[in-house]
A and B are shown apart, each in its own frame.
Chain A
Amino acid sequence: MNSGLIIVMKQTFRSHFKTRGYWLLVLSPIIFAVVVGGIIFGVTQMQGNTTPTVAVIGNSQVRQVFIHDEKALGIKISKITDSQKANRSLTAQDLDGILTLNSENATLTTQPKSNTINKEAFVSVLGNISRSQKAASYGLTAKQTQDLIQPFNLKSVVKQSNNKSTNGENSDTANYAIAIAIGIITTVIVMWYASMIATEIANEKSSRIMETLLAATSASIQYFGKIIGIFALAVTHLLIYIIAGAIGYAILQNNTMLDGIKQTFSGVTLGFTLYAIAFILIAVALYLVLTAMIASLINDNAQVQQAIQPITFLATTGYMFSFIMTNMPNNFAIKILSYVPFISQSMMPVRLVTKVETWPAAILSLVISFVTLIVLAWFGKNIYAKNVLSYSDDKIMSQLIKNIKNIKN
């Protein structure tokens, strides 16, 4: 690699990496997550033990089954087996509920301050016990009984256009969460780093540092050095989150909430994760290239917001479409947009994970974005070189249009 390019890249990276602003940017979401997590933990602790205690009265066999399924039912079975004693404890709010069993029915009595008891789970367990007892009275074998009470297995299958069927392992919640996460990550990173590169270029141009820089290096070295430097900052930013996530995972390994999250996202494969990351990175690079190109038309720092406004709008558009898409994945316009660079990163990974699109289509969308990145980088380099030392009173967009026309000619 050209030594000038490495120097510019390193300087761009170093000068931002060492600033308080960068670390505030990186750490604020972590601090926010820790604070929110801490509040949730504190509230849970303050609530004390929320596992409901239930006394099972009337049938010792059934009571044994409930003791066996205690964990699955999320309850604690009280040692009390006497009805009167149980009622006294319930009145004294020492118990959360009394399950009184008769031959044909059961009654669950609770008090106003009882912790929540999962009644559906109770019905399910009691139903199974009832069916087992009835099967025994009909003279069925244990195997027949087990077969009878086996719940019906409903498998979720998504039929794809190429006749290949795969399991839609993720829940709708998980897919929705993935769509939101990819959209937010891309949009937020784009907004942060687009603003950073625009400010950097505007500062160098307005303060005339650019002349000193271009006396030693070429405009293309400055252009690519800055883009790669800022891109490296964005990647470092993501890596810090990945490392923080890994540390958090190691600490909270046995946490029940984390188990739930792991289960929800069990359908997300390594292949998909890599694909989504690649798409996010290409999209960030695309936006940086576009911003650097437009920023070269800025005259002073006051115009930074004016320059990044259309870029922010574009990034937000993709994010908005990702929401629309979750409701109407087969809409033709949505399908087309999932191949359009600058927008596709918010759509195609979600379409892939929800099995609306196949891998070849997903790869095609990624390749289109990558090719656009290469072409735009080359095109942007010419616009940057042409404008970075010229100062025009025209509006930024009209300058850009003029430049595009001139390059075409």
Chain B
Amino acid sequence: MIQLTNLNKQFGQTIAVNDMNMTLEPGKVMGLIGQNGAGKTTTFRLILNFIAPTSGDITWNGHPITQSDKQKIGFLPEERGLYQKLTIEEQILYFSELHGMTRSDAKIALADWLKRLDVVGKATDKVQSLSKGNAQKIQMIAALIFNPEFIILDEPFSGLDPVNTSIMMNEIVRMRDNGAMIIFSSHDMNNVTKISDNLTMLKQGKIVLQGGVQEIREQFGRTKVYVEGPFSKAELASIAGVIHINQQGAGFDITINDEATGHQIFDFVTRNGYIPAFSQQPPTLDDIFRQEVALS
């Protein structure tokens, strides 16, 4: 278990991380979200001991993270970097060795990973000959091939197309199912929702939201309604408690002030019987994120 306790980091007068507390558990994925400069990468750098905290503790099973613990950490940095002149194999074997894996084991595992991640190219190809997407997959393999116990992924999906995003997400889920502790940052709330068990939202270095994804969404109440049927925007707007209506394809996205308003909308839209769609949900993470950002 990784525990961040009262963690603070200050750069001159700027507070990058402000009294952060967080627990990462084996077999769970923590999504770390926040605007640019919210302190996500700084948090990762603190955990990896790239920079020292101003105050606070970071522990792994109750003790500070040691050099031998670091060998069990898989890290995918935000800014990707590989040795362009080396082959995929040379590169992966080197990183694997640094994480305590033997070259022969790494060689066997690499063949499996290349196949599973659908990398276009051979292990003997130089990295400089790879496309951006494939290079990103190689970087992911470098971070995960040694089956790390703790995984830190800084923006793992940035720059990936939907197919490759889905491949990467499957790998994260697979590693989680194998019992790894995972923390990742992303700006894509859809992806965060899909794979995160827990969520931490940072604003100016401070945690503004933390907990299970569904639990956080429910905190905001089921204030989002989607309906499709034979009625007009004006009719819906006339219902008391409706704050905002947005035409969304064949239906309407309605923001309401209270969960109970949803009942009134339901009664109104079903007064003549069947309608193709009615859904009352808590706000999406994207909505919550925007709402929190707007508060600043």
A contact residues vs B (CB 8 Å cutoff): 4, 7-8, 11, 15, 19, 203-204, 207-218, 389
Contacts and interface: CB of A to CB of B under 8 A. Distances in A.
Given A211-B77, A216-B73, A216-B99, 10 more contacts: A4-B67, A7-B98, A19-B85, A207-B81, A207-B83, A213-B98, A214-B48, A216-B71, A216-B95, A218-B67
A212 B142 contact: yes
Contact of A208 (B71, B77, B95): B77
B50 interface: yes
Contacts of B84: 207
B71 A209 contact: no
Q: Which of A11, A207, A210, A389 has the most CB of B within 10 A?
A: A11
Contacts of A19: 85
Contacts of A4: 67, 98
A211 B98 contact: no
Contacts of A214: 48, 50
A212 B95 contact: yes
A215 B94 contact: no
Interface in B40-64: 45, 48, 50-51
B79 A212 contact: no
Contacts of B98: 4, 7-8, 213, 216-217
Nearest to A209: B81
B15 interface: no
A203 B84 CA distance: 10
A218 B49 CA distance: 9
A208 B81 CA distance: 5
Given A207-B82, A389-B50, A212 B97 contact: no
A4 B68 CA distance: 10
20 contacts: A4-B98, A7-B94, A7-B97, A15-B83, A19-B85, A207-B81, A207-B83, A208-B81, A209-B81, A210-B81, A211-B50, A211-B77, A211-B81, A215-B48, A215-B70, A216-B70, A216-B98, A217-B98, A389-B45, A389-B50
B83 to A, nearest CB: 6
Interface of B: 45, 48, 50-51, 67, 70-71, 73-75, 77, 79-86, 90, 94-95, 97-99, 139, 142-143, 152
Nearest to A214: B50
Closest 9 CB pairs of A and B: A208-B81, A215-B75, A207-B81, A216-B98, A209-B81, A211-B77, A208-B79, A7-B97, A11-B94
Contacts of B97: 7, 11
Contact of A212 (B45, B51, B77): B77
A207 B86 CA distance: 14
Contacts of B71: 216
B156 to A, nearest CB: 14
Contacts of B45: 389
Contacts of A210: 81
Contacts of B142: 212
B48 A209 contact: no
Nearest to A3: B100
Contact of B83 (A209, A211, A217): A209
A7 B102 CA distance: 11
A389 B45 CA distance: 10
Nearest to A389: B50
Contacts of B86: 15
Contacts of B152: 215
A229 to B, nearest CB: 12
A406 to B, nearest CB: 14
A15 B90 CA distance: 9
Contacts of A7: 94, 97-98
Nearest to A7: B97
A218 B67 CA distance: 7
Q: Which of B70, B81, B152 has the most CB of A within 10 A?
A: B81
Q: Which of A7, A8, A213, A215 has the most CB of B within 10 A?
A: A215
Contacts of A11: 94, 97
A204 B83 CA distance: 8
A384 to B, nearest CB: 13
A81 B235 CA distance: 139
A203 B127 CA distance: 14
Q: Which of B50, B71, B74, B152 has the most CB of A within 10 A?
A: B50
A308 B86 CA distance: 25
Nearest to B90: A15
Nearest to A6: B97
Contacts of A389: 45, 50-51
Contacts of B80: 208
Contacts of B94: 7, 11
A204 B70 CA distance: 19
B45 to A, nearest CB: 8
A8 B139 CA distance: 19
A15 B85 CA distance: 9
Contacts of A203: 83
A208 B135 CA distance: 14
Contacts of B51: 389
A7 B94 CA distance: 8
A83 B80 CA distance: 92
Nearest to A218: B67
Q: Which of B48, B73, B98 has the most CB of A within 10 A?
A: B98
Given A15-B90, A216-B70, A217-B98, A211 B75 contact: yes
A213 B80 CA distance: 12
B11 to A, nearest CB: 11
B48 A212 contact: no
B70 A212 contact: no
Contacts of B139: 212
Contacts of B67: 4, 217-218
B97 to A, nearest CB: 5
A363 B115 CA distance: 60
A217 B45 CA distance: 14
